[in-house]
Amino acid sequence: MTDSKYFTTTKKGEIFELKSELNSDKKEKKREAVKKVIASMTVGKDVSALFPDVANCMQTDNLELKKLVYLYLMNYAKSQPDMAIMAVNTFVKDCEDPNPLIRALAVRTMGCIRVDKITEYLCEPLRKCLKDDDPYVRKTAAVSVAKLHDINAALVEEQGFLDSLKDLLSDSNPMVVANAVAALSEINEASATGRPLIEMNAPTINKLLTALNECTEWGQVFILDSLSNYTPKDEREAQSICERITPRLAHANAAVVLSAVKVLMKYMEMMGQDAEFVVSLSKKLAPPLVTLLSSEPEVQYVALRNINLIIQKRPDILKHEMKVFFVKYNDPIYVKLEKLDIMIRLASQNNIAQVLSELKEYATEVDVDFVRKSVRAIGRCAIKVEQSAERCVSTLLDLIQTKVNYVVQEAIVVIKDIFRKYPNKYESIIATLCENLDTLDEPEARASMIWIIGEYAERIDNADELLESFLDSFQDENTQVQLQLLTAIVKLFLKRPTDTQELVQQVLSLATQDSDNPDLRDRGFIYWRLLSTDPAAAKEVVLAEKPLISEETDLIEPTLLDELICHIASLASVYHKPPTAFVEGTGGLKRALPSRSGEEDASVMATGGASASVIPEPGSLIGDLLSMDIGGGGSTAGAGGTGNVDILGGGLDILGGTAPSAPVSEPLRYDSEESNSTDKSNAIRNTVIRLQSTNSLLGDIFGLSGTSSTTFHIPPKQVWLPAPKGKGMEISGTFSRKNGQIHMVLTFSNKAMQPMNQFAVQLNKNSFGLIPAQALNVPNIPPNQSLDISLPLNTNGPVQKMEPLTNLQVAIKNNIDVFYFACVMPIHVFFTEDGNMEKKVFLATWKDIPSANEVQFTLENIECNADGVSTKMNQNNVFTVAKRHLEGQDMVYQSMKFTNDVWALAELKIQPGNPSVTLAIKSRALDVCHSIFAIYDTILHN
Amino acid sequence: MVLSAIYILDMKGKVLICRNYRGDIENNVIDKFIGLVMDREDEGQITPLIQTEEAAFAYIKHKNLYVVATTKKNSNIVMIFSLLHKICSVFESYFKDVEEESIRDNFVIIYELLDELVDFGYPQTTDGQILQEYITQEGHRLEVALKPPPAVTNAVSWRPEGLKYRKNEVFLDVIESVDLLAGASGNVLRSEIVGCIKMRVYLSGMPELRLGLNDKVLFESTGRGKSKSVELEDVKFHQCVRLSRFDNDRTISFIPPDGEFELMSYRLNTHVKPLIWIESVIERHAHSRIEYMVKAKSQFKRRSTANNVEIIIPVPSDASAPKFKTTIGHCKYAPELGAIVWNIKSFPGGKEYLMRAHLSLPSVEGDITEGKPPIQVKFEIPYFTTSGIQVRYLKIIEKSGYQALPWVRYITQNGDYQLRTT
C-alpha cells in the first residue's frame, strides 16, 4: 500500500470531511485523516483551518501519528499563535516521557515552533533535556539551544543556557559534543557585538580534538569548522593541532577533507614558511585535493573553486599536478570552465607544451563558452610563459584560419594583449588579422582590432582607410569601440600628420559635439586641446611608452585572499567574495589569517611570499586611457605607480618654451568620479597643475619664516592595554615631542587586588628605530592607584619597517606577567626642529622627486585660512617654505624632516571660503605620505 | 553555517515535498528556482549553485528530480552537497528507486526521515542501516518500546549491537578502475588507478578487524622494503576506520558496519601501459560516407582475460546504413548513443583484433557542428589488479572467540576510459 492515495481527495467539502474524520473515535480513521491533511499540506493546500482538530490528535500513543501532528504544528503554528499555546502542555508532558525518542522529538519540535509565547514554556523542559541521561536527547537539546537563541537571544543568556552548552563540550558522548559545538559556533556568529560570546581556550580545544576521532562525519565537520575560528596562541599549539587534524585528510567524506584543509591552511600561516613541518604538510595536502576531483560533479565544482584560492596562496602545493585538471569530454560545463582557470594558473615553462596542445584540442570543441575561454587561455599562456609565446601565436593564427566567428574574435582580443607584452615581435601577423576585420561583430573584438591598428598605424599602409571605415557608423558603436576609435585616430594623426588631418577633425567633432557620453566628450576635449596647444607634447603623452602588462591575471587581492582562505568550503570560497557581499547582517566578524607570532617580520604573511601585481576586478579595472578601455580582459597593468613615464619632466620643458601663464582656457580637469581616472589622465592633470605651481614658485619669492613652536599637538591618551587583558593593569598613553626628544606619555592604573611593581619596558624593532632612552622608572603601584609617567625615547635603535609605518609593538613587564600590545604613533613626533628647507633647495628637490612619488589628498572641513594653517603646522615642526596667491587660491609650500633624515614636501591649495583643501605630498619614501596626510588632518581639525 | 530548507522538485519545478528547518526563508522562494535554472541553462552558465537576493540554492539532479537545499548564510557548501547526495542514498536504502512516483508513495516516511537526518539545518544521523532500526514503515505503537538505537549516539554509530550469525563470514572485493585519457595522436595524457575495497560482512557481535595490505610505506618502515609492495597515493577510509591509528603506524583497524559497504578507496598515479589500447583511422568523405578502421589491442598478461569488452565508437548523428566487418565479437549501431558498439565477450591478453565499419552520410549537410566525442572502452578483468595490491591478512577478533572466514576477490575494470579521435 502506498501513500499516494492520500493525495486524491474530493475537492468540495474536503475540509469539512477531514474535520469529522479527525474527530472520529476510531484510531485508524484518525490516522488516515492526519495523513490526508499532511498530504494536502505537501501539495500546498491551506489546511490551517483544521488546527484545533489536528492538535487534538497530539495525545496519541502512536509514534508515527505523533510525528505527523508535530510536523503539522511546525508548519502552521506561526499563523495560529494563540492556538499553538494549546499544544504546549502536551509538549511539556512529552519532554518527560520515559521513551527518549519522544523526549527528543518534543524538545526538537518545540524549538521549531517560532512563536514567542511558546518560548517561555520551552525553557524548563529544555533545561531538563540538556541534562538528560540519554545522549540522544542531550544532542537534540544542544541544537535546540541554538534554535531558541535564534528566536530570543536575550532569553538564552538570561536562562544561563550558554553555560549549559559549554558544559556539554565536556560531555562523554562525542555526538553531543559535536552538536554543542555547532550550536555554539552559530550563537557566536550571530552575536550582535561581533565578539564571540564564548571564547574557546586550549582545554576546550583539546576536548574537541578528542571528540573529533569518535563522532560522525558531520560532527567532524562541525568541530573542524569551529577550530578554524580559533587562533592558537603560538606556533607550538598550532603545530600540535595540525598534527591531530591531518589524519582527517583520509576521510571518505569530501566535507571533512575540505574543512580539515581549511584549518591547516589557516594554521600554517602561523609557522615559518620554510619550516620542515610546513613543507611536509604542504606535501600532504596535494593528494586529497586531487582525489576530490573524483567526487560528484557538484563537489568537484566547489573543490575546484577552492583549489583556485589555495594555489594562489600556496602555488607549490599543486604545481606538479597539472594533468589532473585536463578536461574530460563528459565533465559538466561548469567543471570544464573551472579546470581551465586552474590550468592557466599552473601553466609554467615545464608543462607548457602539454597545456598548449590540450587548449588547442579544447578550442575545436562545440560548447561556445568553453571554446572562447580556451582561446583566451592560449593568449594568457603566451603572456605568462615567454618561451611559449611563439607557439601560442602560431596556434592562435591557426585558429583564426578556421574562420569560426567567435574563435576569431576571441583570438584577436588576446593577440592585442600579446602585442603589449612583446612589442615589436609579432607584428608580422597584422596583415592576417586585418583580413578578418569584417567578421568582427563584438565590441571587445572590434575595440581590440582598432587598438592594434592605431598602435601600429605606421606599419599598416591603409590604416587611415581601415579606421575611416569604422567612422561611418561611429554613433552606433559601443562606447568601448568609440573611445578606442578616437584614440586610435589621434595616434594615427600623430604618426602620419600630413594626410590624416581631416580624419582626426572628424572624429574629434563626433566625439565632442555629437556624443552624450561624458567620458567620450572629455577625452575628445583633452586630445583636442593637447593637439592644438602643442603637438609635440601631445606626442609625448599619447605615444608614450606603455608600462608592461602583468603576467598573472585575475589574481585576488591579498587581503581578500587571506579572508577567503579562512572561508574555505563555504559559499564565500565559491563566489570568491567576502560573506558580507551576499549575506545580510553578518556582524563585524571579519576573518583574517593569523600572523606569525615572534620576532620575525610580520609582513611575510600579508603578501604570502611571492607577490604578483594585482589586477583589480573588471568593474574597477583602471584602464589605460591611451591604450585600451577593454575591461574584461584584465591584462592591463596594475594602476598607479607602475606607469612612471616621466611626463612631468617633459611637461616642464614644454612649458619653458611658452609664456609663464599656461594657456589653459578651461580647467583641464578630468573628473575622476565620472570615469575611473587613469594613469595618463592623472599624469596630464599633474602636468598642468604642476606647471602653474612651479611657475608660481619661480615667479614669487616671498616667504615666511616659521614661527617658533609653542603648542605641540599631543593626541589624547588612548587605552593601549585594557585591564582585563593586563591582568588588572590598565595602560593608556600617547606620544609627545619635548625639546627635540620624543616621549611616551603613559598612565598606569592598577585595577587588581594586589600591588604591582618591578616594571620594565621593551619596544619591538620598529620603522623609526625607537628605543627607550632610560629604564622605566615606575615605583610600586598599590591597588586602585594610578601613576603618570613620561618615558623619553631615542631613535637610534634597530630599524624594521612596520605595517602601518607608525605601528609600535610594546612589551611591559611587572611582577605579575609580561604584556604585549601595539599602538600607533602620530607621525609628527618624528618631525625634527630643523625641517625648514631653503626655497631653492625645495624647488630643486620637488623637481627631482619623480611624479610617481607624489600622492594627492583632500582635507575636508578646514576652517582656518592659509596663515592659520601655517601657524598650526609650524608648531608641529612642519615648516612653511613659501606662500603665494594664485587665481583666487592660496598655495602653501611646506617641508618636514624626519628623525631618519627623510624629507617630505607638501603643497596645499586653499581656496578662501572653500572648506576642502588639496594636499599634495612628495617624498622619496612614498610610505610616509598617508601618515603625513593623517596628521595634517588631525592637527588642522584640532 | 547550514542549510535552511530541503526541497524535492519534479523536472518542472513543482515541489513534491519540502522541509523547512529554520524558517528564515519563505517557502515560496522555491517557486523561482526552476526559472533560474532555465535562465542559466539558456545562457550556458549553469552551475550547481545559484545565489539570489533571498537565498542561495544548491541543487543536484537525481533521476527525474531536483533535490534542492537553500541557505541564507555563508554555509559550508561542500557539506550541503555531500548531504544531498547522502540523502538520496538513504532514500534508496528505503525504497530503491528515488523518483517522482516513489516520493509520492512514501511521503510519510520521507517526512520522518527528513526530521531525523537534519536538525535545524545540521546533518545528524545519515546511516541508512541504523535509521532503519528505529524509523520503520509500519506505524509502531509505543508499547513496543522503540528506542533510539545506541548506535545513533555511540562512538560506533554505524553498527547495531547484538548481531548474530550462524556462520561468520567476510567477503572482500578489491576492485580497481583504470582511468585513461589518451590524445588523438596516441599519447597518454592521463592515466590513474582508482581502487576500492568493498566488504560484505556477516559477523556476530562487535568484532575488531585488522586488514593487512602490501603497503609500501608500511613495508619500508618495518624493514621489508624489498618485498613487492604498492605505493598508495591517497587513501580514503570509511568512517569506521581509525584514522589516527592509520596515520601513526599505517594499521587499518576498524569495527565494520553490518552487510555491504566500501571500506576504503585509493588512488595511484603510477604509469601503466593502457590495458586495452585502441587505434582508429577515420576517413570522412563529406556528403557520401564515413569509414572506420579500429584496432583493439590487449596489453596485459596472456594468462588473464578481459570479459565483456565493449568498445564504443561515436559516429555522426546523421550517419546511416551501417556495415561492419570484424574478426571477433559482434558490432551493432546504437543510434541512441550516437555510436557503434563493438562487443567482445572474451579478450585474452596479448591479442589484437580489427574491426571495419562503413556508414553512409546524407548528401545535404546539417548546420549543427558536432563535437568529437572520444572512443570509450568498458571491460572487466577478473583475478587481476593493475597495481599489484594484495590483501595479506584480515584478522577478526571478537570476544566470543569465534572463527570467521575471509574471502578475497580481485577484479580490474574500466573507469573513465577515453581515447580521443582525430
Alpha helices in A200-245 (DSSP H): 202-212, 217-227, 235-245
Q: Closest partner residue to A65 among B84, B119, B139, by Cβ?
A: B139
DSSP state of A178: H
Choose among A333, A341, A332: nearest CA to A310: A341
pLDDT of residue A188: 87
Choose among A359, A354, A365: nearest CA to A380: A359
| Domain end marker among A801, A825, A849 | A825
Residues A39 and A173 in one domain: yes
Other Cβ atoms within 10 Å of A742 Cβ, number: 20
Choose among A820, A720, A823, A693: nearest CA to A770: A823
Q: How many angstroms away from the CA of B303 is the closest CA of chain A?
A: 31
Does residue A83 belong to any structural domain of this protein? yes
- Highest average pLDDT, of A709-713, B285-289, B307-311, comes from B307-311
Choose among A726, A580, A593, A608: nearest CA to A230: A593
Threshold 0.80, pTM exceeds = no
Query: In terms of DSSP bridges, do strands B15-20 and B5-10 run parallel, antiparallel, or are they unpaired?
Result: antiparallel
Residue range(s) of every CATH 2.60.40.1170 domain in chain B: 169-272+386-419, 276-382
Give B307's strand partners. Answer: B346, B380
* Chain B CB within 8 Å of residue A38 CB: yes
Q: Which of residues 52-111 of A touch B (CB under 8 A)?
A: 61-65, 67-68, 71, 78, 99-102, 104, 108, 111
pLDDT digits (tens, 9 = 90+) for B97-135: 899 999 988 998 999 999 999 999 999 999 888 888 888
Terminal-residue alpha carbon distance, chain B? 48
Lowest mean pLDDT among A729-733, A853-857, B255-259, B348-352: A853-857
pLDDT of residue B145: 52
Lowest mean pLDDT among A60-64, A331-335, B87-91: A60-64
Does the pLDDT of residue A856 top 50, yes or no?
A: yes
Nearest Cα residue in chain B from A365: B371
Nearest Cα residue in chain B from A244: B244
Query: In terms of DSSP bridges, do strands B234-237 and B65-71 run parallel, antiparallel, or are they unpaired?
Result: unpaired
DSSP assignment string, B60-77? EEETTEEEEEEESS--BH
Which cell numbers in the block locate residue A89?
Answer: 502542555
Residues A780 and A851 in one domain: no
Chain A residue numbers touching B125 (CB-CB < 8 A)? 216
Q: How far is CA B284 from CA A61, B291, B315, B422, in A?
A: 74, 6, 11, 11
Give B176's strand partners. Answer: B195, B412
Cα Rg of chain B (Å, integer) = 26
Does residue A606 belong to any structural domain of this protein? no
Mean pLDDT of the region A844-858? 82
Does the pLDDT of residue A310 top 90, yes or no?
A: yes
Q: How many angstroms away from the CA of A894 is the closest CA of chain B?
A: 50
Task: Give Dmax over CA atoms of chain A in angstroms.
Answer: 109
Nearest Cα residue in chain B from A64: B139
Residues A812 and A851 in one domain: no
Nearest Cα residue in chain A from B27: A44
In which band, very low, low, confident or very high, does the pLDDT at A246 lie, cut at 50, 70 and 90? very high
Does residue A56 belong to any structural domain of this protein? yes
Which cell numbers in the block locate residue B281?
Answer: 583511422
Does residue A343 belong to any structural domain of this protein? no
Q: Let me know: does A864 contact A942? Beta carbons within 8 Å.
A: no
DSSP assignment string, B179-195? EEEE-TTS-EEEEEEEE
Chain A residue numbers touching B147 (CB-CB < 8 A)? 99-101
For B26, phi and psi rounded to 5 degrees?
Answer: -60, 145
- What 3-state class would DSSP assign to B18? strand
Choose among B383, B406, B386: nearest CA to B394: B406
Nearest Cα residue in chain B from A180: B122
CA distance A815 to B108: 68
The torsion region of residue B186 among left (phi > 0), alpha (psi -120 to 50) and beta comes to: left
pLDDT digits (tens, 9 = 90+) for B232-257: 888 999 999 999 899 888 999 999 99
pLDDT of residue A285: 95
Cβ distance of A252 and B237 shorter than 8 Å:
yes
Q: Which of residues 557-576 of A touch B (CB under 8 A)?
A: 567, 569-575
Which cell numbers in the block locate residue A939?
Answer: 592637527
What percent of chain A stands above pLDDT 70? 85
pLDDT digits (tens, 9 = 90+) for A875-933: 888 888 888 777 778 888 899 888 888 888 888 888 877 888 888 888 888 888 888 88
Q: Counting Cβ atoms within 10 Å, is residue A657 exposed (0-12), middle (13-18) or buried (19+)?
A: exposed
Residues A160 and A187 in one domain: yes
Nearest Cα residue in chain B from A354: B189
Report the run of H or E that residue A355 belongs to, with start and end.
helix A352-362
Mean pLDDT of the region A297-315? 96
* Chain B CB within 8 Å of residue A583 CB: yes
pLDDT of residue A55: 85
Q: What is the CATH number of the domain that holds A206?
A: 1.25.10.10
Chain B residue numbers touching A185 (CB-CB < 8 A)? 1
Residues A818 and A922 in one domain: no
Residues A56 and A92 in one domain: yes
Residues A135 and A101 in one domain: yes
* Chain B CB within 8 Å of residue A626 CB: no
Other Cβ atoms within 10 Å of B299 Cβ, number: 14
Residues A562 and A511 in one domain: no
pLDDT digits (tens, 9 = 90+) for B40-59: 988 878 999 999 988 999 99
DSSP assignment string, B81-109? HHHHHHHHHHHHHHHSS-SHHHHHHTHHH
Q: How many angstroms away from the CA of A571 is the closest CA of chain B?
A: 5
Nearest Cα residue in chain A from B248: A247
Chain B residue numbers touching A114 (CB-CB < 8 A)? 23
Q: Which fold has domain B5-132?
A: Beta-Lactamase (3.30.450)
Report the run of H or E that residue A312 belongs to, with start and end.
helix A297-313
Choose among B176, B266, B170: nearest CA to B215: B266
The CB-based long-range contact list for A784-790 (8 Å cut-off, 24+ gap) reads: A784/A750, A784/A751, A785/A749, A785/A750, A786/A730, A786/A747, A786/A748, A786/A749, A786/A750, A787/A747, A787/A748, A787/A749, A788/A745, A788/A746, A788/A747, A789/A745, A789/A746, A789/A747, A789/A748, A790/A736, A790/A743, A790/A744, A790/A745, A790/A746
Nearest Cα residue in chain B from A368: B44
Report the run of H or E that residue A571 belongs to, with start and end.
helix A571-575
The torsion region of residue A912 among left (phi > 0), alpha (psi -120 to 50) and beta comes to: beta
Does the pLDDT of residue A628 top 60, yes or no?
A: no
pLDDT of residue B256: 94
Cβ distance of B108 and A253 shorter than 8 Å:
no
Chain A residue numbers touching B122 (CB-CB < 8 A)? 143, 179, 182, 218, 222
Does residue A16 belong to any structural domain of this protein? yes
pLDDT of residue B162: 87
Cα dihedral sign for A881, A883, A884, A889? positive
- What 3-state class would DSSP assign to B242? coil
* Chain B CB within 8 Å of residue A691 CB: no
Total domain count, chain A: 5
Summary count for chain B: helices (H), strands (E): 7, 23
- Which domain, by its residues, includes A75? 3-246
Residues A132 and A15 in one domain: yes
* Chain B CB within 8 Å of residue A39 CB: yes
Q: Let me know: does A83 contact A56? Beta carbons within 8 Å.
A: no
Does residue A853 belong to any structural domain of this protein? yes
Chain A residue numbers touching B75 (CB-CB < 8 A)? 570-571
For A859, phi and psi rounded to 5 degrees?
Answer: -95, 125
Q: Counting Cβ atoms within 10 Å, is residue B251 exposed (0-12), middle (13-18) or buried (19+)?
A: middle
Residues A175 and A86 in one domain: yes
Q: Let me know: does A175 contact A215? Beta carbons within 8 Å.
A: yes
Which cell numbers in the block locate residue A394?
Answer: 602560431
| Domain end marker among A215, A246, A277 | A246
| Domain end marker among A825, A845, A866 | A825
- What CATH number belongs to B276-382? 2.60.40.1170
Residue of A149, A261, A294 best to disrupt the B interface, most CBs of B under 10 A: A294
The torsion region of residue A789 among left (phi > 0), alpha (psi -120 to 50) and beta comes to: beta
CATH superfamily of B169-272+386-419: Mu homology domain, subdomain B (2.60.40.1170)
Residues A781 and A916 in one domain: no
* Chain B CB within 8 Å of residue A259 CB: yes
pLDDT digits (tens, 9 = 90+) for A184-231: 999 988 876 666 677 788 888 999 999 998 889 999 999 999 999 898
Give A611's strand partners. Answer: none
Nearest Cα residue in chain A from B8: A42
In which band, very low, low, confident or very high, does the pLDDT at A26 lie, cut at 50, 70 and 90? confident
Q: How far is CA A349 from CA A327, A394, A592, A866, in A?
A: 20, 17, 34, 59
Q: What is the interface size between A and B, counted as CB pairs within 8 Å? A: 272
Q: Closest partner residue to B78 among A254, A334, A367, by Cβ?
A: A254
Residue position matching grid coordinates 589484437: B352
Cβ distance of B148 and A569 shorter than 8 Å:
no
Sheet holding A818-824, edge to edge: A760-763, A807-813, A818-824
Residues A512 and A560 in one domain: no
Chain B residue numbers touching A247 (CB-CB < 8 A)? 243-244, 246-247
